[in-house]
Amino acid sequence: MLENWVVMPTCLPLVLRRCHACASERFRADGKFRVNAHHKLIDAWLLVLCTVCGDTAKLTVLERTNVRSVRPELLDRLHDNDPVLAAELLRDPVVRRRNRIALDWDGAWRLDTGGPGDLDREAIEVSVCFAARIPVRPVRLIAEGCALSRAEAERLTAEGRLVSAVRLSGRLSDDFTFTLKR
């Protein structure tokens, strides 16, 4: 019987970028935007706050873009400070590359296993789905979902009792399945 687990975001991740005021490297986004128009051109930024000193930094979303080329619904969402739009933009690789930022997902996600399940069976097969592209170590997910220590999960992998079509070391942000044999 196949069990389904879901990795879900619980809040916006921290933005990794150096603060020019205090040299901290962590900013938090709260979904606030700043929009500025220059005649027919528009700029838009996602505002992030330094976690140490509270200084504001701007992440470029639109830069000197013709107003007519911006979808009206996007403009409305920017003006309404839509937190869902902020989450979408933080996950957008183009925005991250343009602003030279990385994301810190520690403490910003949870694993939903759908209840206690039958983890005592001889063998279980689990499908892990990601609601957002959150880079997580598969061994950590398996250990958390099966109530094992990470060392125990790694030992089961080395013994061949924890198998998957994907490499379980490193980080993943794509769906995968695994089988655990007790």
Q: What is the pLDDT of residues 25-72, one digit of tens each?
A: 999 998 999 999 998 999 999 999 999 999 999 999 999 999 999 999
In whole angstroms, what is the distance from residue 169 CA to residue 171 CA?
A: 7
CA distances from 148 to 25, 98, 116, 151 (A): 33, 40, 14, 8
pLDDT at 182 over 90: no
Of the pLDDT bands very low, low, confident and very high (cuts 50, 70, 90), residue 114 is confident
Q: What is the pLDDT of residue 170?
A: 87
Average pLDDT, integer, range 144-159: 92
Which residues have a Cβ under 8 Å from the Cβ of 38 and sit 6 or more positions away? 64
Q: Which of 90, 110, 88 is nearest to 101 (CA)?
A: 90
In whole angstroms, what is the distance from residue 27 CA to residue 100 CA?
A: 13
Of the pLDDT bands very low, low, confident and very high (cuts 50, 70, 90), residue 119 is low
Strands 102-104 and 14-16: antiparallel
Average pLDDT, the chain: 92
**pTM for the complete prediction?**
0.80
pLDDT at 1 over 90: no
pLDDT > 70 in the chain, percent: 97
Which residues have a Cβ under 8 Å from the Cβ of 70 and sit 6 or more positions away? 42, 62
Which tokens belong to 31?
């979904």
Of the pLDDT bands very low, low, confident and very high (cuts 50, 70, 90), residue 169 is confident
